[in-house]
């Protein structure tokens, strides 16, 4: 049922099973945080775990904490927790590096196994980093990089090669059909590397059930792992030992503390670990994952859908163009609107305590993290947006001053 009044939004808040979790996050008073799709807010469990490892293990045991606090195995343990979020088997996920580095590793490792001519493919509307990695690696290896029109991936997979694809598009919030794409890949002997950055912690990915073999994703968005939190890397069991990482770092060795001059890859996904893990970031991420224990992802995604529907319906009344799938249609956790002066409008909203983000050239993005936002929050944000548009408040010169990070 469409939400057409603040009273309806308030009634939904009164029976929201996720409402109690909001108190486990630190969001400043007077702020409606609509950028959880870019950087999730800090949670109390994350701060507690971070403090325990910094002031406890590091301060007291120092180097001994690699054993006493289990630091050496922390990336794998946190990886197993993330495996639960993405519907993967234990032992198939590790935490390491960034999404960019992991894409490089996975594409390079997958190319020799893919059938057909060695080629890297990516759709033109993917996140720029993913395209940069695809093109840069193609130049390094001397193989073609084919830039596909949006929506053309599945048809191209019949020719084999390796495809980079996002589970949720960073700009439109459109959700990819992972099972359908994987079926197309198997028919053509292709391999797909999934970027899960805008999906993890929000939707039920069910990678194992849908036949996904390779993926990476960040942990600082809906997972709330913190700024610069490490990424994760997934390889389906049974495939990993056929892959060779292009960055054979010492901690990906089968016996790293033998310091053998000859590299021998570790068993399983651990072979993709290159260097020493960022323990304090891992500790914060480990704590952040406590929030997700026992949560039903269908509830998370359903709430995000309704929050997005409120936004889109009100935006349509304001004459704003919508890039995202419309009301009632499946989308990720954010909604993208277009206006020629999107940056100034976002700054005007921020002055009223409504924090959204802007993506060049003209996109206002509203992220609807279901763990921290209420239905009333979103309704009131759209009321403020309507006022800003009606009064043309955004035309004030102060809102045109560009910050380095938009």
pLDDT tens-digit readout, 138-193:
999 999 999 999 999 999 999 999 999 999 999 999 999 999 999 999 999 999 99
229 or 1: which leads in pLDDT: 229
Instruction: Give CA–CA dist 71/64, Å, rounded.
Output: 9
CA distance 202 to 304: 8
CATH class of 47-292: alpha beta
CATH 3.90.1150.10 residue spans of the chain:
6-30+296-400
Mean residue pLDDT of the chain comes to 96
Cα-Cα end-to-end distance for the chain: 34
Strands 321-322 and 120-123: unpaired
pLDDT-above-90 percentage for the chain = 96
Instruction: Find out whether 376 and 22 touch, Cβ atoms under 8 Å.
Output: no
Residue 34 CA to residue 374 CA, distance in Å, equals 11
Distance, CA of 95 to CA of 270 (rounded, Å): 9
The pLDDT of 124-150, averaged and rounded, is 97
Q: How far is CA 149 from CA 8, 10, 125, 146, 181, in A?
A: 41, 42, 8, 10, 15
pLDDT for 406 = 80
Top-tier CATH class for 6-30+296-400: alpha beta
Contact 191, 163 (CB under 8 A): yes
Asked if the model's pLDDT at residue 401 lies above 80, the reply is yes
Which ranges in the chain are annotated with CATH 3.40.640.10?
Answer: 47-292
pLDDT at position 1 is: 76
- Digit-coded pLDDT (tens) for 253-292: 999 999 999 999 999 999 999 999 999 999 999 999 999 9
Q: What is the mean pLDDT of residues 67-92?
A: 97
Residues with a catalytic annotation lie at 127, 195, 220-221, 365
Strand-pair partners of 175? 168
Chain segment 319-362, per-residue pLDDT in tens: 899 999 999 899 999 999 999 999 999 999 999 999 999 999 99
Q: What is the mean pLDDT of residues 82-96?
A: 97
């Amino acid at each position: 049922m469409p939400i057409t009044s603040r009273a309806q939004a308030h009634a939904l808040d009164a029976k929201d099973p996720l409402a109690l979790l909001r108190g486990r996050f630190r969001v400043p008073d007077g702020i409606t945080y609509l950028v959880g799709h870019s950087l999730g807010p800090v949670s109390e469990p994350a701060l507690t775990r971070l403090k325990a490892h910094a002031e406890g293990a590091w301060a007291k045991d120092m180097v001994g904490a690699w054993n006493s606090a289990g630091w050496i195995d922390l990336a794998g343990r946190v990886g197993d927790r993330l495996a639960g979020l993405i519907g993967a088997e234990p032992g198939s996920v590790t935490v390491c590096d960034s999404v960019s580095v992991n894409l490089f590793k996975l594409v390079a490792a997958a190319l020799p196994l893919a059938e057909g001519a060695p080629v890297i493919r990516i759709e033109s509307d993917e996140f720029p980093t993913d395209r940069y990695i695809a093109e840069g690696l193609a130049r390094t290896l001397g193989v073609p990089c084919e830039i596909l029109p949006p929506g053309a991936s599945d048809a191209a997979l019949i020719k084999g090669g390796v495809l980079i694809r996002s589970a949720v598009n960073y700009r439109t919030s459109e959700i990819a059909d992972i099972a359908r794409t994987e079926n197309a890949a198997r028919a053509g002997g292709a391999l797909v590397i999934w970027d899960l950055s805008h999906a993890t912690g929000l939707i039920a990915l069910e990678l194992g059930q849908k036949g996904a073999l390779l993926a990476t994703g960040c942990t600082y968005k809906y997972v709330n792992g913190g700024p610069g939190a490490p990424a994760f890397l997934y390889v389906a069991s049974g495939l990993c030992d056929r892959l060779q990482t292009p960055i054979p770092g010492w901690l990906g060795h089968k016996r790293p503390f033998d310091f053998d001059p000859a590299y021998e890859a570790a068993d399983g996904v651990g072979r993709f670990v290159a260097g020493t893990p960022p323990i304090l970031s891992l500790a914060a991420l480990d704590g952040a994952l406590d929030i997700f224990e026992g949560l039903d992802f269908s509830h998370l995604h359903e709430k995000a859908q309704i929050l997005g529907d409120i936004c889109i319906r009100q935006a349509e009344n304001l004459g704003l163009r919508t890039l995202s799938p419309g009301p009632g249609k499946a989308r990720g956790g954010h909604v993208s609107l277009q206006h020629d002066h999107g940056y100034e409008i976002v700054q005007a909203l921020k002055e009223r305590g409504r924090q959204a983000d802007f993506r060049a050239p003209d996109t206002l993005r509203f992220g609807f993290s279901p763990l921290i936002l209420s239905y009333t929050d979103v309704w009131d944000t759209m009321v403020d947006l309507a006022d800003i548009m009606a009064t043309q408040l955004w035309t004030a010169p102060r809102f045109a001053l560009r910050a380095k990070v938009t």
